[in-house]
Chain A
Amino acid sequence: MVEALTIVLAAGLARGWRSALTGLGAATLVLAVVVAALGPALTAIPLNALRLVVGALLLTFGLQWLRKAILRASGYKALHDEDALFAQELAEAEGAARVERAGLDWYGFTLAFKGVLLEGLEVVFIVLTFGSAQGSISLAAAGAAGALVLVAVVGVAVRAPLARVPENTLKFAVGVMLTTFGIFWSAEGAGAHWPGNDASILGVLGFVVLTAVALVRLLRHERRSVLQAAEV
């Protein structure tokens, strides 16, 4: 969401707000149609089969997020620099030729539309999978919509990229949650029974957090040793 906001802000400042906000609105509409179309279809699938598929996808997805967050936290990968991304998007948007279509600056519209759609698909995927496995897509969608409004309001208020948001911490937390629910649901879908039933989610959460934190510490220590050895 933060990346999408950065792209919309760059498009708005460089190419005009009308095109950027129309692109944002069109992409939001497409995403809402995807949720409305896929949501009811998912609830018709048997719960165990759904939990197996959803759990496997969440686990794969969560491990990707967690892997990147661990690499960033341990210094092996650069932290996401929203200011640099904003400056790059702004320079590219200012340099592009102006083409008018349907009264809109086409570059500004497509830049905002593509940015919001691609970033938003990730959120839609999480909302649909979480919501369908728990039997409440509308609740998950309301939570995501609330987060979207919050990011948009802050973005419009500051008219600058949200560089102060601790993005890697947020991604770390999302990776931990996706991995936790991915483990729990895919094991249940595969026929395993958790000791303590739903309460074991807390145990899985604790295990994932401890594993991720231990890996960050281990890799940080390893990286420091390698750098010190290279200096000598």
Chain B
Amino acid sequence: MSRLAAFGRFWWEFVIGDDWLVAVLVAAAIGATAAFAHSGMAAWWLLPLAVLLVLWLSLRRAIRST
């Protein structure tokens, strides 16, 4: 069980890293891009904007915790 937990922890740290909010917001932004694109609207601008927001929020969280 502890090996399974260690394996899970390794992948969590590898992919999600220090701030889980980044992964959640990236997933939400990609979902919104897909929804926009499939309804026929221009969707290319959404992810760059999301990156700006995600970086800002994540940096503020990191600074608050120092």
Contacts and interface: CB of A to CB of B under 8 A. Distances in A.
Nearest to B62: A71
A169 interface: no
Interface in B28-58: 30-31, 33-34, 36-38, 42-44, 46-48, 51-52, 54-56, 58
Contacts, number: 102
Contacts of B52: 211
A60 B22 contact: yes
> Which DSSP category, helix, strand, loop or mixed, fits chain B's interface?
helix
Contacts of B15: 57, 60-61
A76 B62 contact: yes
A226 to B, nearest CB: 10
Interface residues of A, number: 37
Contacts of A191: 33-34, 37-38, 43
Interface string A41-82: 000000000001001110111011011101100001100000
10 contacts: A52-B30, A64-B19, A67-B58, A121-B14, A183-B47, A187-B47, A190-B37, A192-B42, A192-B47, A219-B63
Interface of A: 52, 55-57, 59-61, 63-64, 66-68, 70-71, 76-77, 121-122, 125, 179, 183, 186-187, 190-195, 200, 204, 207-208, 211-212, 215, 219
